[in-house]
Amino acid sequence: MPLRNTLFTLCLLSAVFLFPARSTAGEAQFISTIDGDSLVVEFEGRACEVRLIGIDAPEHGQEFGVQAKCHAMRLCYGRTLRLEFDRQRRDRYGRTLAYVYCNGKMINAEMVRAGLALAVPYKPNLRHREKLEQAEKAARAERRGFWLRGGLKQAPAEWRKLHGKG
């Protein structure tokens, strides 16, 4: 039995040192906003596009697109951000997928709570699905952002299809 325990311990230690766990979070410096659900940050020494997980904000040229981009800028400008990753770290376009935090607040949820983004679950990244859905319910109830007018004329995904952006 002692040999079996020793072999198990050696295998476990080898796995820890040879295959370190991927980081689930990291610090980033805000650079700019692309739109209400995409940022450019400096992360791990390079500029990186970050797509906010679980939300979809109006696009540039769409109603509330400018407001969404400006709100994201106000939340992040000049700040150090914390990126939290879920199961999938990159999307099909190569963008980093993250929940972004600033001063303890999740930017993804703040965009939805302001009525400037929809809560949209994207499998397999569902860790904060309920929090984002609750933020949307609150925005609707309080008639914030585009909910003041009952919502958007078109969801951002529909708008992108019609305007060749996705």
**Residue of 59, 110, 113, 136 marked catalytic:** 59
Q: Has 95 been annotated as catalytic? A: yes
Complete DSSP assignment for the chain: -HHHHHHHHHHHHHHHHHSPPPPSEEEEEEEEEEETTEEEEEETTEEEEEEETTEEPPPTTSTTHHHHHHHHHHHHTT-EEEEE--S--B-TTSPEEEEEEETTEEHHHHHHHTTSSEE--BTTB-TTHHHHHHHHHHHHHTT-GGGGGTS-SS-HHHHHHHTT--
**Residue of 89, 95, 127, 160 marked catalytic:** 95
Q: Has 51 been annotated as catalytic? A: yes
**Residue of 51, 110, 113, 136 marked catalytic:** 51
Q: Has 63 been annotated as catalytic? A: no
Q: Which residues have a catalytic role annotated?
A: 51, 59, 95
